[in-house]
Chain A
Amino acid sequence: MSDSEADTAPSAQTASTRSILLVFLCTLSGAAAQILMKYGANHLTGAGLLGIITNLPLIAGYVLYGVNTVLMVLALRHGHLSVLYPIVALTYVWVTILSPMFFVDPLNVFKVTGVTLIVFGVSMIGVGSRP
């Protein structure tokens, strides 16, 4: 792709399906990163910097955050920020649903209500912003 194409493409539409899928992937990897980092922080063995750089889940979490940023930038090339950014809130949904499997962090009626509202909110933005 030429530079001029990269300059003009994003304003042509509100958000391409590809961009929405990329942000969706971003929320999955963001949730995985958060869970890995929490798990890593709970299982720190060494002290200080040595403890951090020898902690595999923690490092995997950092790497996933890097992947996350690349995915987000690729998504933002062909979509409006006001459409794509709120989709990131789905990260809350995955973390809330997955946390009970890895931590003592049970679901309750508040969390389920919150997750449902976020899913509706994100869907509303996604559906209402189709070109």
Chain B
Amino acid sequence: MTTPFSSMLLVLGASFVGSFGAVCLKLGADRLPPGLWGMLRSWRLALGVFLYLLSSVLFVGGLKDGSLTVLYPLVALGYVWTLIWSRLFFREPFNRSKVLGLALILVGVFFIGLGNR
């Protein structure tokens, strides 16, 4: 099964947008006013949810056609972006366990893509 370039681009875009959704949720969570009402008032959280919704729309469009063996690893790239942003924006340290653990997750997602063919 061939995978259209447009599908790859959509999934890649979705993983990228989704990783910024995670960043916004973290930004919002760090400045959360008390109570559930505080959660609903936070524009950072609202932006995070919006980016998640946007990324899911892109995912649905991208995963419609093409091989999951190709597309699943692109989905999992979202974890790589998020690790980079957490270092860049929140100064969280990289360490060996994070990088190795993430590598195992990526290979694992690739295998699930293979199994879902």
Binding site for B on A (CB under 8 A): 1-3, 6-7, 10, 14, 69-70, 72-77, 80-83, 85-86, 89, 92, 96, 107-125, 127-129
Contacts and interface: CB of A to CB of B under 8 A. Distances in A.
Interface of B: 22-23, 25-26, 28-34, 36, 39, 45, 49, 52, 76, 79, 82-83, 85-87, 90, 92, 94-98, 100-105, 107-116
B115 A76 contact: no
Contacts of B26: 76, 81
B104 A82 contact: no
B30 A124 contact: no
Contacts of B76: 89
B114 A110 contact: yes
Contact of A70 (B31, B39, B112, B115): B39
Instruction: Identify the interface centre among A73, A81, A86, A123: most chain B CB within 10 Å of its CB.
Output: A81
A60 B64 CA distance: 23
Contacts of A80: 86, 90, 92
Contact of A114 (B49, B102, B114): B114
B115 A111 contact: yes
Contacts of A122: 101, 105
Interface centre among B95, B98, B100, by most A CB within 10 Å? B98
Contact of B111 (A2, A77, A117): A117
B105 A86 contact: yes
Nearest to A89: B105
Nearest to B56: A65
A116 B116 CA distance: 16
A92 to B, nearest CB: 6
B108 A121 contact: yes
A77 B39 CA distance: 12
11 contacts: A2-B34, A80-B92, A81-B85, A82-B98, A83-B98, A85-B22, A96-B115, A114-B111, A121-B108, A128-B95, A129-B97
A120 B40 CA distance: 36
